[in-house]
Amino acid sequence: MRRISAVFHRRCSGPLAPLVALTLFGVACPPKQAEGDATTPPMVPPAVADAPPTTPGRQIPTVAPVPFAAKDKVPITETMANRVAIDKAATHLKNDPELELLLIGRTDSYRAPAAKNLERGLRRADEVADDIIRRVGVDASRIHVGSRGQANPEASNETPEGRAHNRRVEFYFFYPDGEPLSSRFDFRIVIRGEDPPAARE
C-alpha cells in the first residue's frame, strides 16, 4: 500500500498529473496549494501599458478637439467638457518644458465667407491659448495659434450636426525643430506670425 501511495504521489507531481492519476487509480490529484503558499506562483498575465513605449520625455501627447457654438454665442471655455480638455493640455505643457502647442481653429462654412472664417478660427484658438496661459502661467511663446477656417471639413456643412462637428479647435503638440510650423502640414494653414504659404512659394 505504501508503494502505491508513493507512485500516486509521483504521478501527481508532473504536468500530466491529473490525467495519469485518473487513468491508473481512478482518482483525481489533490488540489495544489493556494496562492501565497510555498509553491510556484500562478501565471499572471503581464500588465498592458496605457501607452506604447517611447523615449522618456519625448512622447507626443494628444488631446481631443474642443467644439464651440455657432456665431460666437458661448465662450469655448465655459463648457465642462472643454475645460477638462484644456486642463489636460495645460498639464502636458507644464510637465514638459520643451513641448510646444499649436492650436488650430476650424469652422463650418455656413453663411460666412472663407476669409471671415479664417479670422474666426484664429479668434477661437486665441481664446483657448489665453485660458491655458492663465491656468499654468506657461510662456506664451510656447503656444502658437493657427486656423484652417472652413477648409477641408470633416463633416457635411449641410446639416446642423455636421456644422457642429466642424466648429472646433484642435491641439497639435510638437517639439520645435527651427522650421516653419506650416511646413509640417500637407494642407494650407494660416499660422499667426508666419508668412502665408503662398508668400513662401
DSSP 14-59: STTHHHHHHHHHSSPPPPPPPTTSSSPPPP-PPPPPSS----TT--
Highest mean pLDDT among 11-20, 73-82, 161-170: 161-170
First to last CA, the chain: 96
Instruction: Tell me the whole-structure pTM to 2 decimals.
Output: 0.67
For 9, 79, 105, 145, 175, the CA distances from 124, given in Å and listed in that order, are: 76, 14, 6, 9, 23
Which phi and psi angles does 172 have, rounded to 5°? -125, 105
Res 31 pLDDT > 60: no
CA dist 110 and 112 (Å) reads 6
Choose between 59 and 20: higher pLDDT: 59
Is the domain spanning 66-200 CATH 3.30.1330.60? The answer is: yes
8 A C-beta contact, residue 180 and residue 121: no
| Mean pLDDT, residues 90-108 taken together | 95
Region(s) of the chain under CATH 3.30.1330.60: 66-200
- Say whether 164 sits in a helix, a strand or coil: helix
Res 2 pLDDT > 90: no
